[in-house]
Copies of this chain bind each other. A is one copy, B any other.
């Protein structure tokens, strides 16, 4: 990683949340590489984003190719593909920061908290990828809706990970995408943000909203 802004691969960047993050980071001047299980779909999503930001450095490809190229890799795939995606990119991401946005929702009961045995999807990722990868869990509570527009994102980001510097990097990336982020402690604490998403789903249903959270300091 040079003095330049790091390049970011967004795996699942063809989806709502990944597409929204890719959009915000491209807008902020980061090199964005959209990864998909299908290289063609990744390239198509990159071309679409490029048409909105013609001056940005945006490309696409398959999961391994994009993870290999990028300095930082964001995993934004559905939980059903989480383990398989991580297995595929395990070699390519050694030594890197992996941002895990996964929420372990289990359809159809997405409004019910059902955390995995490891405690969280973030913890599963850290265990699977090994200690040479700095897994940072973040962005689970942000409605993709907000990232596709240019209004203020009225939702804070909880950033959990065992490496403090890596958390700090992700807090900076959240700020670049228009969001206030907080150090939330070790990767075990990914459980809180992941569980909270089911509550926001409950609130969205009752209030017909795109709900989020804010941290208050109440000094």
Which residues of A come within 8 Å of B, CB atoms? 111-115, 119-120, 143, 145-146, 154-155, 158, 160, 182-186, 188-189, 191-193, 195-196, 198-200, 202-203, 206-219
* B contact residues around A113 at 8 Å (CB): 119-120, 185, 188-189, 191-192
Find out whether the CB atom of B218 lies under 8 angstroms from the CB atom of A199. Answer: no
Q: Which residues of B contact A114 (CB under 8 A)?
A: 188
Give the distance in Å from the alpha carbon of A209 to the alpha carbon of B215 in the complex. 11
Q: Which residues of B contact A192 (CB under 8 A)?
A: 113, 192, 195-196, 198-199
Complex CA–CA separation, A188 to B119 (angstroms): 14
B213/A216 in contact, CB under 8 A: yes
Across the two chains, which residue of chain B brings its CB closest to A143? B218
Contact of A210 among B115, B188, B191, B218 (CB under 8 A): B218
Query: How far is it, in angstroms, between the C-alpha of A193 and the C-alpha of B184 when the chains are bound?
Result: 14
> Beyond A112-B186, A191-B195, is A218–B214 a contact (Cβ under 8 Å)?
no
| In the bound complex, CA of A186 to CA of B191 (Å) | 17
Q: Take A184-B199, A192-B192, A198-B189 as given contacts and tell me if A216 and B211 are in contact as well, using a CB distance cutoff of 8 Å.
A: yes
Does B195 contact A199, Cβ atoms closer than 8 Å?
no
Contact of A154 with B218 at beta-carbon distance under 8 Å, contacts A186-B112, A189-B195, A195-B192 already known: yes
